[in-house]
Amino acid sequence: MSSIRAVAPLFREDLDHVLTHTRGLWEEARGRTFFITGGTGFFGMWLLESFAYINDALDLGMRAVILTRNPSAFAHKAPHLTLRPDLSFIAGDVRSFAFPDGRFDYVIHAATEASIKLNNEAPHEMLDTIIGGTRRVLDFAGHCGVRKLLFTSSGAVYGKQPADLTHVPEDYPGAPDPLLPDSAYGEGKRVSEHMCVVHARHHGYEAKIARCFAFVGPYLPLDAHFAIGNFIRDALCGGPIKIAGDGTPIRSYLYASDLAAWLWTLLFKASSSRAYNIGSEQGLSIRELAAEIVHILDCPFPVQVAKVANPSAPVSRYVPSVGRAAHELNLQASIPLHESIRRTAAWHQSLANI
């Protein structure tokens, strides 16, 4: 028997949300073809689910080809997507995949995982995957006659956010420390942004840059390095919720249906060669987040904090300013955090019925 666990489709209300907030963008893509890397990860699953739903709802006749390391495993995981005629899956490494035939009007490069384990244990591999993958995707973009390309970058390109900077804007001049091995992820994303902009200008297409922060929603793994996912897992198991540190870092979380709507909006409408932060401006401490999850999911045990906070230590922050997305693209975070947590937990509970 396969060890691949099937996943539940997204809630109809989430897909309706993406459609409602992007309905006016899709006509230009009628009958067009997309190429998507990273289509089987957290971002990719939301892109594929919303693409399929909107393709049906608006009768657009679009088609997407998705690069994945293992199409067979994904077919077991998500048959509701792999059986669709408008989605085709090809096997390959993002650094060396064979170019599919035909013209592709849109390319979305979302392949690199934000893996703390890989970044810490094999930073050279992390860097090679990000930069090598971007180089291969850009070679393909030049080959296939792309009109618009979306690159999912990261807030990690800013380096460490100063404690007195509550929200980091796109024009903040910070950067990762290049002498630290664990800067591989941020440096890779930073270099890749530059590669995208230079390549797009040379070949005459539009390159859109999405600097992504932290998110929550269905398909977010509960056993990875994401604190919010770990806390939801602990609560669903009856608790206690365990914080490995002192609970003082400040983070924010955008719900994934907003994320999907924002990404599609950037692809179609954002200015070329311009970066946009994607995330929520509602910052809260990790300890406050854990307490919120306890309250919303009615966890019977208190939060356990492993370390005592040092009141004189600077606060760690990772919270974006999203004013550029709001002012230029009319984007906003629509789903409040308490509802984001409730929906994420409910979706994971639905997996028990599969």
- pLDDT per position as a tens digit, 119-164: 567 788 889 999 999 999 999 999 999 999 999 999 999 999 999 9
Report the first-to-last Cα separation within the chain, whole angstroms: 15
Predicted pLDDT of residue 329:
98
Higher pLDDT, 116 or 341: 341
Q: Which residue has the tokens 């703390």?
A: 116
- pLDDT per position as a tens digit, 175-195: 999 999 889 999 999 999 999
**One-letter amino acid for residue 43 of the chain:** F
Q: Are 308 and 183 in contact (CB under 8 A)?
A: no
Predicted pLDDT of residue 5:
60
Domain-by-domain residue ranges, the chain?
A: 12-220+252-281+320-334
Predicted pLDDT of residue 311:
92
Predicted pLDDT of residue 199:
98
Predicted pLDDT of residue 1:
30
Side-chain half-sphere of 188: how many Cα atoms within 13 Å?
25
For the chain, give the percent of residues with pLDDT over 90: 86
Across the chain, mean pLDDT equals 94
Instruction: Tell me the pLDDT band of 351, cut-offs 50, 70 and 90.
Output: confident
- pLDDT per position as a tens digit, 253-309: 999 999 999 999 999 999 999 999 999 999 999 999 999 999 999 988 889 999 999
DSSP letters for 77-134: H-HHHHT-TTEEEEE--TTTPPPPSS--SEEEE------HHHHHH-HHHHHHHHHHHH
Predicted pLDDT of residue 12:
92
Q: 12-220+252-281+320-334 has which fold?
A: Rossmann fold (3.40.50)
Indicate whether 91 pLDDT > 90. yes
Higher pLDDT, 211 or 11: 211
Q: Cis omega (within 30 of 0) on the bond before 162? A: no
